[in-house]
Amino acid sequence: MYELIRAGERSYYIECPAKIGVYLAGEGGVYLIDSGNDKDAGRKVRQILERNSWKLLGIVNTHSNADHIGGNQYLQRQTGCRVFAAGTEAEFTRNPLLEPSFLFGGCPPKALRHKFLMAQPSGAEDVTAEGFPAELEIIPLPGHFFDMIGIKTPDGTAFIADCLSSEATLGKYGFPFIYDVAAYLDTLERVKALDAELFVPAHAPATGDIGPLADINRDHVLALGEFVLGLCGEPSCFEDILKRSFDQYGLTLDFQQYVLVGSTLRSILAWHLDAGRCEALFCDNRLLWHKL
- Residues 6 or more apart whose CB falls under 8 angstroms from that of 79 comprise 46, 55, 56
pLDDT of residue 9: 97
**Please, what are the domains in the chain?**
3-225 (3.60.15.10), 231-291 (1.10.10)
Q: Looking at residue 33, what is its pLDDT?
A: 98
Asked if 48 and 41 touch (Cβ cutoff 8 Å), the reply is: no
Q: What is the pLDDT of residue 94?
A: 98
Other beta carbons within 10 Å of 291: 16
Q: Which of 89, 87, 72 is nearest to 123 (CA)?
A: 72
Regions of the chain with pLDDT less than 70 = none
- For the segment 253-268, what is each residue's pLDDT rounded down to a tens digit? 999 999 999 999 999 9
Rg (CA), the chain: 20
First to last CA, the chain: 49
Q: For the full predicted model, state whether its pTM sits above 0.85.
A: yes
The pLDDT tens digits for 205-244 are 999 999 999 999 999 999 999 999 999 999 999 999 999 9
